[in-house]
Amino acid sequence: MIIKIPVENLNLDFIKKFLSSKSIVKIKEKAKKKISKANNTLKRIIEEGNLIYGVNTGFGALVNKKISKEEIKKLQYNLIISHALGEGEYFNKDIVKLAIFLRANMLAKGYSGVRVELINALLDLINKDIIPCVQKKGSVGASGDLSPLAQIALVLLGKGKVFYKNEVLETERVFKKEKIKPFILDIKEGLSLINGTEMMSAFLGYLLIEIKNIFNLAKEIAGLTTLMIKGNKKEFDLRLHKLKPYPEQIETAKIIYHYLNLCDFKETSLQDPYSIRCQPQIFGSIGETIDFAKRILEIEINSITDNPIIINNEIFSGGNFMGSCLALASDLLGISITLLSLLSERKIFYLTSGKNPELPIFLIKNPGINSGLMMAQIVSTALISENKILSYPASITSLPTSANQEDIVSMGMNSLLKLEKIVENTKTILAIEILCISQALRLIEINFKEKPKIIKIIEENIPYLEEDKELQDILSKIKNLFFDRINPPNTNTIN
């Protein structure tokens, strides 16, 4: 599809479409006029001898160092060369591609004073699928994502490495092949490439797509697990849940209640344990956090995060690059997904404990000679323990940088790196719960009035364990089957 920037009112649905399709991105003709006007304004103000941060001064604690007219272009080049320092493995290329788009979209709104040519150079990377290799660690989420965005900018200069046709190659080699000349930065253009929150925003958007998929699947899993232990239907009656009307609480109760009515059975308990009975209430609280994080993301990706910026021919220097909102949203998401994984682990324990008279301990015939899913439950315990550790908020761990000029920072990137690991652990824990459901389905007699989609998927793809088998490959198969980020399987029972 062809996308013309700036796109107004960006949202998570747009991000999902952008990441799942091949797009050609161009600048709107009307936007080019505003971009050029801001660029001309910036040059005029400089010619008048005014001092502008990061244009004819140094950066950060070097703000009082005046830069001569002869050196202001060299200043921008040196900024990128010096700031393109990171650590660790590379981001998924989709995250980097999205970050480039978000930065280009923001610059195309005409507040930064850069040239149209710079934005086109960014769009060339997207349109030719030349995606910079950017390391995950190095951003403190204030003054923008300096390290990762500088690694993107480094590629424009013909340096660094890129993902190109399923390989990691030197940028210089790829540029020669594609006949691209290294970009020569003009005044402020280096600073405008790196002062912003687009790397954190792209990372959060990428993770939110996955989190929403996981959350929706987890509601279906909740219904199945409750059916396996023959939960009490009255606990999920909508007349009860409408008295505490969180949207996702009501939705989860509706799904669980639907599953419990797919067959006739006698409840095993007058009142189920909290990990069964309180599932709707817990899902309701998690859903509120997901909605909050989505709202924060959508405000951020429609914001101007550069510094300084030009408004009505006047220069403003501020702090819109501060990533505190993203940091707090990511920390809250991490805590919420940890709660989701804790709930799943408790249900795994309940299914495998032998407490239910119809289900053998560790969900295996002939326990003793067979260990069944004993180790699967232990693995889930190890992962939830790690999630608890990772749930400590990074947003309150600020340390001063840049000789104390940047004396409080958001640490938003660390919040997101923790969240990424929490999400990965949670996928495994939920996969173990699905494995437990698969075993329980074959161990108890259930006469379905209507067999739901997710059960058909389980029966067709997950083998029944008559006796002990290696579980690693089975668990990997479940994760691959159910946790495709962009195109998860359709398991929704209720239209």
Tokens of 80: 């990128």
**Cis peptide upstream of residue 148 (ω within 30 degrees of 0):** no
Tokens of 435: 């494995």
Secondary structure element (H or E) that encloses residue 379, with its range = helix 374-390
Tell me the residue type at 38: A
Alpha helices in 111-145 (DSSP H): 116-127
* Secondary structure percentages of the chain, helix, strand, coil, to 5: 55, 5, 35
| CA gap 228, 272 in Å, rounded | 13
Which among 293, 366, 303 is positioned nearest to 325, based on CA atoms?
293
Is the CA virtual torsion 243, 248, 252, 255 positive or negative? positive
Q: Say if residues 351 and 383 touch (Cβ distance below 8 Å).
A: no
Q: φ and ψ at 320, to 5 degrees?
A: -65, -10
Any residues with CB less than 8 A from the CB of 269 and at least 6 apart, and which? Answer: 231, 232
Residue 57 Cα to chain centre, angstroms: 36
Q: φ and ψ at 4, to 5 degrees?
A: -110, 130
Q: Which residues are catalytic?
A: 53, 83, 195, 274, 277, 321, 406
